[in-house]
Structure 1
């Protein structure tokens, strides 16, 4: 599959390249472009490309200026840190809209959608695209992505993705980050379980809400339970009950 990446952030380009290498063994990155001007010139040369990943904000302006200067028949997957352009993105030849940082699961979903549409030669009208957009954006933005944590006389912004797990001890909820910092949180563990992405965090038991990335090993434990080995190490065993073991295995494999 021949792919073009139109993006002005080197780190975002490299991350996307790495993810594409993991997800598509046949991926061939034929172009990396960082400006509107260069993109227009490249597109007018009618390149043979199967899919374009397009950032909203490029080095010399907004990507929608491209569509005012040339027609694009190639399917597009938008990648951006902002969701306010989503409606406009689906007015052009877009099949999906990924929020940065792009997650592997969402990239896989977008590529599956591309293959499904490509294989069936399905053409969606504007109303269908808008309905699809509403579902995708609602799902992508309904979960908490950052905390503003009071600390002395300041507020410290911390990304949800920085937390390895959340726990409750003596009625106090703490979030433990990968750099082993402990942050006191105002939310209850139940509230956190409702507001952060369940694809990423799992309620192992009443005491722990665990980030998938923090789980390094799963040990069979007494009476059909699992014992989770985390990184960084937890102060006590994190157990998943026999009743939840099947559900947990499905979540880990999903």
Structure 2
């Protein structure tokens, strides 16, 4: 077993290493990584890693940004002190989501789950698991319902329900409302937005777009197994769902 721990707290990394080691007869740990940039560089080289333990809040930002422009097939067990990122974690190669301080019985359950899986197979999100987490988080009222967006020399209140889609434009995120008003958001990435919005109302279509269920008018089959999502207002570019995500997107559309 080759295991990578990405964690920015030395004590937490040391403790997790000791806890994990007892679950495997033979295990090698890669050097601990404590930031997003080094993690991206390390994983880009496609190292022989069987399992990743990934803290969400790292020293230079959210670890979700590691996955931007990069496909990682290695199974992941997320570790964090916060519960609001659970949905986004399940949408990646997540086996489990462990809250700190990590309890030994929860770690055992997560590793047992890993052992039952084929670690070479990239896992699609489990909608039933996401729904369970969504219900728990929604009960706590932690989903974003309103924004306060900068506009010229003012701040404009903007309801999440008013937004049709978010688009990444270079390093800025633009929100388009159903009545065609456009605002640049204070949030700097679609990953950050995805962590605070209800995943049953907004879907991460691709690297550039996060779309509202209400804005989707029809879905058209496109080249190479992709889907073309027609939304209103129409964005400047086609919103395409990859062949790999097409089945999950259709299941999402049928849900609720």
- More helix per residue: 1
Bigger RCO (CA 8 Å, 6+ sep): 2
Q: Provide TM-score, normalisation by structure 1.
A: 0.50
